[in-house]
Amino acid sequence: MYVDGFVLPVPTRNVKQYLGVSRKAGKVWKKYGALEYREASGDDLRVDPKMGQGMKKAAKAKAGETVFFSWILYKSRTHRDAVNRRVMKDPGMLRMMQDSRNMPFDVKRMAYGGFKIRVDL
């Protein structure tokens, strides 16, 4: 299994719009073969946890923002690459991505990467 993971701050006033964009994008990823598409919004984002640092700090979330932790699951990295090639050619996705100024979050502040699953219980 392989996962694309994302962490991004979203202004709370834009959460509804973000979820709308996410639902549309998720349907496209699933259409082209992604096994899962998940979006989780911060619920317990402690400012000063006993261990490590809080997610808001790690994501550099500002006042009035919440953090989304999201992932897309694939069979393998090869599968991920094939799915993403199709997604990036999808006319609906191209329209959505055409103007990043209309996105409900700052795309430059999104952290993402591909991960090999090492433990799967």
- What residue ranges in 12-116 does DSSP mark as E strands? 36-41, 65-74, 111-116
CB 116 within 8 A of CB 77: yes
Cβ-based neighbour number of residue 102 at 10 Å: 10
The domains of the chain, with CATH numbers, are 2-116 (3.30.70.100)
What's the predicted TM-score (pTM) here? Answer: 0.89
Instruction: Return per-residue pLDDT of the chain as tens, 121 residues.
Output: 999 999 999 999 999 999 999 999 999 999 999 999 999 999 988 777 677 778 888 888 999 999 999 999 999 999 999 999 999 999 988 887 776 667 888 888 899 999 999 999 9
Best CA proximity match to 107, nearest among 55, 74, 57, 68: 68
